[in-house]
Chains A and B, each alone.
Chain A
Amino acid sequence: MNAALVVEALKLRRSPVGLLATCALLAGTLLLLGGITAAVVEGNPQIIAKAGPAASLDWSGLTAGAAQITSAGALIAFGVVLAWMFGREFADGTITGLFALPVSRGRIALAKLAVYAGWVLLVSITLPLGVLALGLLLGYGHPGAEVWRSLARLCLLTALTGAAAAPVAWVTTLARSLLAGVGTTILLVVLAQVGVLAGSGGWLPLAAPALWALSGGQAVDPVQLALTVALALVSATLTGTAWSRLQLDR
């Protein structure tokens, strides 16, 4: 298992998709926050209207903006990376090299998911730190207790959004297609939006983390949030099983 972990970590670290997704999640979010701040300072009425709580030039506006951007965009970035990690083995034909090995395919799949989880955790920790640095740079002063709570919520929101993308790994494996994984990512985003519009977002594991973070932890209870973790665990089990049973028959 250790060998598989090292190998999967190297593959993600050197993959352009992993690098681009990391940049999009970290630098992209911070640049957007900087852009929103600049527009609010200039008094742009359209941006101020659209940004809502994020339009305030203080810590609460900054953390609300970060939560909004992460809620809207992170699922796409996480889903694309998962689709790449699993789908590239079929697209590049490297899946044949993952047979006849003393490491089972089930373990290789779990190693992929473990490396993905590690990467999500890294992004989840780095993003709030980046927002903190941006706030200090913008001169918002010493962060108080509520700011730290908002940053902690941002960290958990990012991690849970990463967990919500887990079904992408399973569908990519079943379809043996990178594009199917990307398509599933888009479907998950649409389902999350529809769930929120239908008023059932709190019970929808795909939407619950965003609703929880955007409401300051009020709109969603811990049981509903735990469903997101359950979805990730079920998806990981299904993915591991699918890899164990995999045959190259098509």
Chain B
Amino acid sequence: MLSFHGVTRAFRTGAGVHRLTFQLGEGEIVALIGLNGAGKTTLMRLALGMLRAQQGTVRLFGRPLPSLPTAAWSEVGALVERSTAYPELTVAENLDIARRLRGGARHVVTAAITAWQLDQLTDRRYRTLSQGNRQRVGLAAALQHQPRLVVLDEPSNALDPASVLLLRAELLRRARAGAAVLVSSHHLDEVARIADRVLLLNAGRLIGTLDTTGPDLERAFFERIRTDDELRRAQEPA
């Protein structure tokens, strides 16, 4: 459903991603983990057409992004970096905007309000919401149209434990329905609960997968990062 083949995108600052290759199939949940600045958000922006690759190919639904028909984006639901909505509009209006732009039926907004427990907030202006509630609105907007591909960047940020449970249930439900889910997170325990594969990203490169069945995820994570850093330093010209 989503594939990266040798994808590179560099920035003048030196950050970016380099020769990324991976695939995400139907019904699969793939988690991306890495330190801040590892390239998780850049990877997601490349997947969503927010950035163009300098080298390599990003394919969505089997087609390279530049030749993807615009209509195909109706099958994608995404929330990158943080929830953003129009502050002067109410929760219901913001959800309705997301629905209209994706061509969804009117009832999906009502269903999303119920699913994300936003009933008490529908007439509240977005700017008056707490960070956690804003994130729930962002998730509802991204997922209300039942997308076949879900891309979420640190979706559990600012969520309370009850909302984290809602999110987890929703992602598992979407995957069971055949959707492909790409999610980044700093919460290793959380990704271990839901992900079929956990990809490790360090300094813009995919350095492998993390075995989520091991006894100490944090230790395994940091050892992989340290080993990769040492390897890169050893390869750098003196």
Residues of A within 8 A of B (CB): 3-4, 6-7, 10-11, 14-16, 92-94, 96-104, 247-249
Contact = CB atoms under 8 A, between A and B. Distances in A.
Contacts, number: 72
A248 B101 contact: no
A103 B70 contact: yes
B50 A247 contact: yes
A227 B103 CA distance: 38
Given A7-B100, A102-B102, A103-B70, A248 B50 contact: yes
A168 B94 CA distance: 26
Interface stretch (B78-86, B200-208, B213-221): B78-86
Given A3-B101, A7-B101, A10-B97, A99 B49 contact: yes
B99 to A, nearest CB: 9
B126 to A, nearest CB: 10
A99 B50 contact: yes
Q: Residue among B50, B73, B74 with the most chain A CB within 10 A?
A: B50
B88 interface: yes
User: 6 closest A-B pairs (Cβ-Cβ)?
Assistant: A102-B74, A93-B84, A100-B48, A3-B100, A248-B50, A94-B84
A103 to B, nearest CB: 6
B228 interface: no
Q: Residue among B70, B76, B86, B141 with the most chain A CB within 10 A?
A: B86
Contacts of B93: 10, 14
21 contacts: A3-B100, A3-B101, A3-B103, A11-B89, A14-B86, A14-B89, A92-B87, A93-B84, A94-B84, A94-B85, A97-B84, A97-B85, A97-B98, A97-B141, A99-B49, A99-B50, A99-B78, A100-B73, A101-B102, A247-B51, A248-B51
Contacts of B101: 3-4, 7, 98, 101-103
A249 B13 CA distance: 11
Contacts of A10: 89, 93, 97
Given A14-B88, A94-B84, A99-B50, 14 more contacts: A3-B103, A4-B101, A6-B100, A7-B97, A14-B93, A92-B87, A93-B82, A96-B80, A97-B141, A100-B49, A100-B73, A100-B78, A100-B151, A102-B74
B111 to A, nearest CB: 19
Given A100-B73, A102-B71, A102-B102, A94 B86 contact: yes
Interface in B97-121: 97-98, 100-103
B11 to A, nearest CB: 7
B72 interface: yes
Contacts of A14: 86, 88-89, 93
A99 B153 CA distance: 15
B52 interface: yes
Q: Residue among B11, B101, B102 with the most chain A CB within 10 A?
A: B101
B45 interface: yes
A14 B85 CA distance: 14
Given A3-B103, A15-B88, A248-B45, A96 B70 contact: no
Given A92-B86, A96-B81, A97-B98, A102 B72 contact: yes
B5 to A, nearest CB: 20
A92 B127 CA distance: 11
Contact of B88 (A6, A16, A97, A104): A16
Contacts of A248: 45, 50-51
B76 A100 contact: yes
A92 B86 CA distance: 8
Contacts of A97: 84-85, 98, 141
Contact of A11 (B76, B82, B86, B98): B86
A109 B31 CA distance: 34
Nearest to A97: B84
A11 B74 CA distance: 22
Nearest to B81: A96
Contacts of A247: 50-52
Given A16-B88, A92-B84, A97-B98, A102 B50 contact: no
A109 B231 CA distance: 47
A93 to B, nearest CB: 4
Nearest to B84: A93
A85 to B, nearest CB: 12
A103 B100 CA distance: 10
A103 B103 CA distance: 9
